[in-house]
Structures are given as C-alpha cells and as structure tokens.
Structure 1
Amino acid sequence: MNLTLRQLTTFREIMRAGSISQAARAVGRTQPAVSTMVRTLEDQLGFALFLRTHGKLIPTPEARFFLEECEDILGRLERTERTLERISSLQSGKLKIACHPAASSVFLPRLLTRFLDGREDLEVSLIMRSSAMIEDMIASQQFDIGFSETPTPRASIHQTDYDMECVCILSADDPLVEKSVITPDDLDGHPMAVLFDEHSTAIQTEAAFRTTGNRFNKRFELRTFLPGLQFVSAGLCVMVCDMITAYSHILHAPDSSGLAFRRFRPTISSHISILTPGYTTQSMVGLTFISELKAAVAGVQDEVETALNSTWPLRNPS
C-alpha cells in the first residue's frame, strides 16, 4: 500500500463536502480525476469507502474510521509545516547562552530584548558563569553560544576574539577629568580598584605603574568591575576597566552621573570572545543571533570611542 498525501487530502474533502463535485472544486481538480482517485484508493485499501445510491455518495463505516486516521495524519503534517515555517523565519526554536559577569547585567539582556521582539515562540536560556566555566560548557556542547574572556584555543571550541581597549573611570569631581588621557604618572599613589591578581587587566595595570616608576596603590581588589563603579563614583578610587562595563554604564546613565571616562596610556587590553561548540552545527537562529552579537560588540567599541572622543561627561557643559 502506497497512499499519498493528495489521496488523503482529497478523501477528507469528499467527506467534508459530501459530493465529488464540491470536493473537486476545493482541491482544484476535475470531477473525473477525483472519481478515479476514489476508485484507486478503494482498490489500495481493499474495501469500499462509499456506497453510490441514486447519484449520491454514502460513506461506509470504514470510511468514517479511515477519516479519523486521515485527520490525525494531516493534522500532524499541518502542525509540522507551521513549526518548520516558524523555525525558518527564526520565530521558533531554542537558544542556550552562557555569559560572563561583565556583559550579563546590561549588554546581553539588552541585545536579547531586541532580538526576541516578534519571536514569541523562541525559548532562551541565559546564565551567568565565570569565563572558565563557560569555556567548559561550550566545549562539552551544553550551551550554544558563550560570551566570555578569551580562552586558550582548543579544537572543541570555535571562537571569535576581540581585543578591546580598557578605559579609565574617575569621579566626575576629580581634577584629572580635565585631561583627555590618564597615565600612571597622573595616578602615582592614587587609590585604585582592580580585579584579582591573576586577571590579565590587573597584571597589565600594575606593570604599567612599575615600568614608569610610579607607586601602584591597590585599595580595592574585585572579582568584577561592576561594584567598582560605586567606589569610583564616591571618590574612593580610580579604575581602569573593560569596555563592556563602561558601555553598560553609558546605557544606564547617558548624562553625567558622577563618573567620567578617559583614555588610559599605556593601553590596557581586555580580550573577549564569542564561543560556539567546535563539533556541532549551529542552528539558523543561533547563527543569526551570533551575527547580531558581533554587530553589538562593534557597537560597544564605537559608542565608547565616541564617549572618549567627547571626553564624556564634560565638566561644566555649556
């Protein structure tokens, strides 16, 4: 037996319409073609579907039972077609993202909010983890996308790396905001907030002071830069921090809010990466989100660069 979807669809239309002529119009075929299809279907099934009495079709009990099966099969097919259509239009599916702390509070949620607009059936899992944990989650294919500090390359991970310049954040009342570029000479002995000793930005910052012969005064040691914004705003310290954290503050406080951004020289680099599993194929929705994530990272660099070029915020703006 080799039943076709056309046979099932046409049979269902005959049962709904009650006549071959009306069914033929519904399926866009001629009446003789539909009559032939019914006879062929009955031959394949091995039993009659209709009794023909005085020019009318009377469904047999077997036809009514067969209709239930047709409705079930065609219903599943129609649901599948709708699901595939939503998937192809990126309106349905699942996306699992792991994000490091600096981007988890503002940057990535903001991007996801825009991405999910009009995609009500798209399911998203977003977790915050350390960069080391994210690396392992991506390598083991537990998550589709990771956004973290740059790991050591390995075959089980595809990565797109970015070298982003760190910026110096000061209290808006600090006299140093008159400068467009801050150096270790300006911060000799000044209280600083830095990440833990093993972090690359802390190592680079301390090395910059040591190389220039200036005293490095580490008052606050942090796991992430976010709490340091409060300390800087209160005038307790200065901080050389990653661009993602600076961008998050710009989004929340587009006007002056107690902080000022300035360039720092020598350049302190913050390395971040977009990670995906190395041994699996990315979904269409995943590829689309990655494309938007790449554009968003470029947007961060442009936005902070604009803020630095305008020495944001200006003191005593006109």
Structure 2
Amino acid sequence: MLVMDLRLVEIFNAVMQHRSVTEAARALGVTQPAVSAALKRLEQNVGFVLFRRESRHIVPTAEAHLLHSEAVHALAGFSELEDAAAGISAGQRGVLTIASSPGPGIAWLPEIVSRFRRDRPATQIRLLTRSSDNVRSLVSSRAFDIGIAEPPFDRTNTVLKRYRFRLQCVLPASHALAAHETLTPDLLEGSDLIITPGSRTSYAAISRAFEASGTPFHPAIECEFFAIALNLAIDGAGICLVDALSISDTLRRTGNTGALVVRPFSPCVFYEVGVLKSNVGELSVLARQFLKLLDEYTMPHLARF
C-alpha cells in the first residue's frame, strides 16, 4: 500500500507551479538540494519518473501532470481540514446540543443561542426542550452536551453551575398596587394571581409564603411556563410572579416595558436551575464558550445575597 508523504506532495506541487527547482526552493524557504532530494524520494514512492531534464530546464512527464491534478485536490482538501481543525480549536465550528427545561428553553435561551451563533456561523446548534426530569435522567447518556434543569439533583448529576433568580411581580403600570415598592402576600390578597403549577419548587415556596402570612392562596390562573404567565400579564389577565431574567427578556422583546411595572415580592422566593453535563468526558471547546456567554448573560439578573 502506497503511503503519501504530505510534505513531498507540497514540494512537488511547488515545483510544478514554478517549473523550477530553484524557484520552488525559494518559495518554500528550503535549499535546492532539499527539493531535489524530495522529488527523488517521491519518484521512488510512486514508482515512476516525474521530471526529465532538457537543457537547463526540467520538464514534467505525462504522469507528473496526472499526479499533479490529484495533488491539487488533495492539498485543497488538507487545507480545508486545517481550517476545520483551527475552527474547532477556536470554537468556531462543530455541533452543540443543549437540552433545557421549558422555562429557560422558551424564555431566555433562544436569545443566547442566537447571539452565540451570530459570532459562529459555521456551527450547528440543537436546542431541545425537555422536562427537568428528562434532562436530569438523560444527561448521563450523553444525549446532549449541556443540560439545563431545575433541582433536585442527585449524585448522578454533574452540576457545573447553579443559577438562582429572585421571583418578582409583574403588573400593569395603572394597577393600584404599582404604587408599592414591594408586594407582599397580604397586599396581593384579592388580586388575580398568575402562577406556574405545583410541580415547580417556586410554586410551593409562594404557597408557603402566603400561608405564613395568614393570607389565602387562590391563584386565578395556573399555567405551565413563566413565558406564558408573562404573556397573560401583558394581556391584562392579572399579576404574575416570574424570574427576573424571563421578565427582562420578555418585556424588552415585546416592547411592553412602559405598560407594565416590576416589583419585588417579599418574602424572597427563588427560581433555580442548574447546568449539567455528563459525568463521562470533558466539555467541548464550543460548549465551554457557550457556558461563558450564558454566565455573562445571566449574571446581571442573579439573586444577590
């Protein structure tokens, strides 16, 4: 089996282009004897003569022309391979699969993914929306690069990051409660509350806050995701309690920053998600860069202690 030496092919290509051993050596930054020796080795490898000397010039044989045609394609392919390797190393190429629980997956990950890929147009991103249970259980199978899910986490989950956001109240600017700097369960009594369902840990925390204050907890609307709760509030259906990042993204995107106001809820109730990876292997360069952007994006909205 013939094994081609890439360096010999590069030297051969230079000689074919310049039609001169001297000029090829100058272009490659090597000595003339080194080029001549390389051509001799290549002829030994391929088993046929590449150049014949006529007077002071070298003339390619018919076989050399055929070989050169293939060499050009091979070198172009290798150049593409080098570019691909450089792109992968720099996090500019590759496939990144992110599986997220619906809250982040619907409300704020789309913008992060869009920003990420805008700077990396050669990448392919797969954004999957799964339940937190699904994400937590599938992360060990390496079905995706990064998982974003709500707690609880167990010892089988490798948690890279935890993001904790304070829940805030979103209500119409014309609402009577908008005059208050902070909203409490007793102030919210009798208002149409929009709450996410009991499967969320935040729902249980809100319920306990109302119970501790002796205020009846009877939400007017229950919906699955923060994004839906925000859209209901935008349409005037009531007051919703949503994480700070979802509020910021949704209001800015929908242009409702003036029609609605945001007020802290007291006592503090938090929404938490974790960033998970498989406990086998390391993150790709692309995944590490995505996590860096995720950090930058979420940092201004994280709960302070």
TM range (shorter): 0.7 to 0.9
For residues 261 and 133 of structure 2, what CA distance do their matches in structure 1 show? 31
Q: Relative to structure 2, which stretch is displaced further, 270-279 or 40-49? A: 40-49
**What secondary structure does 1:170 align onto?**
strand
- Consecutive unaligned residues of structure 2, counting only runs of 5 or more, are none
Deviation track 1:81-138 (CA, whole Å, cap 9, x = no partner) reads 1111222232211111123333334522222222223322111112222222222342
**What secondary structure does 1:186 align onto?**
helix
Matched letter for residue 225 of structure 2: T
Instruction: Check conservation: 1:206, 1:216, Cα contact below 8 A.
Output: yes
Superposition map of 1:169-184 within 5 A: 169-184=170-185
Deviation track 1:244-291 (CA, whole Å, cap 9, x = no partner) reads 322223322566443221111111111111222221221111101101
Q: Could you say which residue in structure 1 is the equivalent of 2:121? A: 120
Aligned residues: 303
For residues 225 and 45 of structure 1, what CA distance do their matches in structure 2 show? 67
Superposition map of 1:145-224 within 5 A: 145-224=146-225
Instruction: Check conservation: 1:42, 1:48, Cα contact below 8 A.
Output: yes
Shift in alpha-carbon separation, 1:44–1:195, aligned structure 2, 3 A? closer
Shift in alpha-carbon separation, 1:236–1:65, aligned structure 2, 3 A? closer
Instruction: Check conservation: 1:146, 1:276, Cα contact below 8 A.
Output: yes
- Consecutive unaligned residues of structure 1, counting only runs of 5 or more, are 306-318
Q: Confirm or deny that 1:296 pairs with 2:297.
A: yes
Q: Confirm or deny that 1:66 pairs with 2:67.
A: yes
Q: Could you say which residue in structure 2 is the equivalent of 1:277? A: 278
**TM-score of the pair, normalised by structure 1:** 0.84
For residues 247 and 98 of structure 2, what CA distance do their matches in structure 1 show? 22
Instruction: Check conservation: 1:226, 1:245, Cα contact below 8 A.
Output: yes
For residues 248 and 137 of structure 2, what CA distance do their matches in structure 1 show? 27
**Structure 1 vs Structure 2 CA RMSD:** 2.5
Q: Percent identity?
A: 27
For residues 8 and 115 of structure 1, what CA distance do their matches in structure 2 show? 39
Q: Could you say which residue in structure 2 is the equivalent of 1:258? A: 259
**What secondary structure does 1:182 align onto?**
coil
For residues 254 and 17 of structure 1, what CA distance do their matches in structure 2 show? 63
Instruction: Check conservation: 1:158, 1:277, Cα contact below 8 A.
Output: no
**What secondary structure does 1:216 align onto?**
coil
Deviation track 1:25-51 (CA, whole Å, cap 9, x = no partner) reads 222233333223323433444442222
Deviation track 1:180-231 (CA, whole Å, cap 9, x = no partner) reads 1111111224332212223212211111111221111222121112232344
Instruction: Check conservation: 1:103, 1:244, Cα contact below 8 A.
Output: no
Q: Confirm or deny that 1:141 pairs with 2:142.
A: yes
For residues 3 and 198 of structure 1, what CA distance do their matches in structure 2 show? 62
Matched letter for residue 183 of structure 2: I
Instruction: Check conservation: 2:107, 2:227, Cα contact below 8 A.
Output: no
Instruction: Check conservation: 2:159, 2:274, Cα contact below 8 A.
Output: no
Instruction: Check conservation: 1:172, 1:233, Cα contact below 8 A.
Output: no
Instruction: Check conservation: 1:102, 1:244, Cα contact below 8 A.
Output: no
